[in-house]
Structure 1
Amino acid sequence: MFHPSPDAVYGFAHARRLAHVASQHQQIEVWETPQLGKLFTLDGRPMTSVGDEFVYHECMVHPGALAHPEPKKALVLGGGDGGAARQLLMHPSIERIVVAELDEAVVRMAREHLADVHRGALEDARVQVVIGDAQHFVAATNERFDLVVFDLTPPDSPAATLYTAEFYAQLKAVLAPRAALSMHLGSPHYHAARVAGLLRGLRERFAVVDVMSAFVPLYGSQWLMALASDTLDAASLFRHDIEERLTERRIGGLRYYSAALHPALFTVSHAVSDKLDARS
Structure 2
Amino acid sequence: MFQPAPDAVYGFPNARALVRVDSPYQRIEVWDTPQLGRLFTLDGRPMTSSGDEFIYHECMTHPAALVHPAPRAALVLGGGDGGAARQLLAHRSIERIVVAELDAQVVRLTREHLPDVHGGAFDNPRVELVIGDAAQYVAQQIAGANKVSFDIVVFDLTPPDSPAASLYTPEFLTQLKRILAPQAAISLHLGSPYFHAARVAALLTNLQQIFAVVRPLAAYVPLYGSLWLMAIASDTLDPASLTEHEVTARLTQRDLDGLRYYDATLHAALFSAPHAVRDKLGRFLKPSP
Q: Give TM-score, length-normalised by structure 2.
A: 0.96
Q: Which amino acid aligns with 2:233?
A: A
Q: Is the 8 A contact 2:48 2:223 kept in 1?
A: yes
Note if 1:179 corresponds to 2:188. Answer: no
Specify the code of the residue in structure 2 equivalent to 1:231.
T
Query: Per-residue CA shift, 1:213-234, capped at 9, x if unaligned?
Result: 0000000000000000000000
- Cα offsets for 1:128-178 (capped at 9, x unmatched): 110010000000112110000000000000000001011011100000000
Instruction: Tell me which residue corresponds to 1:108.
Output: 108
Task: Give the structure 1 partner of residue 68 of structure 2.
Answer: 68
Aligned residues: 280
Instruction: Structure 1 unaligned segments of length 5 or more: list them.
Output: none
Q: Is 1:190 aligned with 2:195?
A: yes
Match of 2:134 in 1: 134
Letter of the 1:170 counterpart: Q
Structure 2 SS opposite 1:171: helix
Structure 2 match to 1:83:
83
CA change 1:131–1:41 in 2 (3 A) is same
TM-superposed CA distance for 1:45, in Å, is 0.1
Q: Does 1:41 align with 2:46?
A: no
**Over 2 Å off, 4+ runs:** 277-280
Query: Match for 1:107: what amino acid?
Result: V
Partners of 2:262 and 2:138 in 1: CA distance = 29
1:262 to 243, 258, 267: 267
Distance (Å, rounded) in 2 between the aligned partners of 1:190 and 1:245: 35
- Which among 206, 211, 214 is matched to residue 211 of structure 2? 206
Letter in 1 for 2:262: Y
Aligned counterpart, 2:144? none
- Percent identity, aligned pairs only, is 68
In the alignment, the residues of structure 1 paired with residue 34 and residue 222 of structure 2 have an alpha-carbon distance, to the nearest angstrom, of 13
Paired AA for residue 104 in structure 2: E
* Aligned equivalents of 2:179, 2:20: Cα separation in 1: 36
Q: Distance in 2 between matches of 1:275 and 1:254?
A: 31
Residue 192 of structure 1 contacts residue 279 of structure 1 at CA under 8 Å; is this kept in 2?
no
In the alignment, which residue of structure 1 is the partner of 2:228? Answer: 223
Q: Cα distance, 1:111 vs. partner?
A: 1.1
For residue 147 of structure 1, give the secondary structure of its aligned residue in structure 2: strand
Is contact 1:193-1:279 (8 Å) kept? no
The question of whether the paired residues in 1 share the 8 Å contact of 2:205 and 2:284 is answered with no
Q: Give the letter aligned to residue 44 of structure 2.
A: G
Rounded Cα–Cα distance in structure 1 between residues aligned with 2:261 and 2:134: 29
Mapped to 2, the partners of 1:267 and 1:278 lie a distance apart of 14
Per the alignment, in what secondary structure is the counterpart of residue 182 of structure 2?
A: strand
Which runs of no fewer than 5 residues in structure 2 stay unpaired? 142-146
Q: How far apart, in 2, do the equivalents of 1:270 and 1:34 lie?
A: 33
Tell me how far apart the structure 2 counterparts of residues 249 and 122 of structure 1 sit (CA, whole Å). 21
Partners of 2:123 and 2:152 lie apart in 1 by 20
Q: Give the alignment's TM-score, normalised by structure 1.
A: 0.99
Per-residue deviation, 1:38: 0.0
After superposition, the CA RMSD in angstroms is 1.0
**Where does residue 282 of structure 2 map in the other structure?**
277
Aligned equivalent of 1:164: 169
Q: Determine if the alignment matches structure 1 residue 146 to structure 2 residue 151.
A: yes
Partner amino acid, structure 1, of 2:154 = V
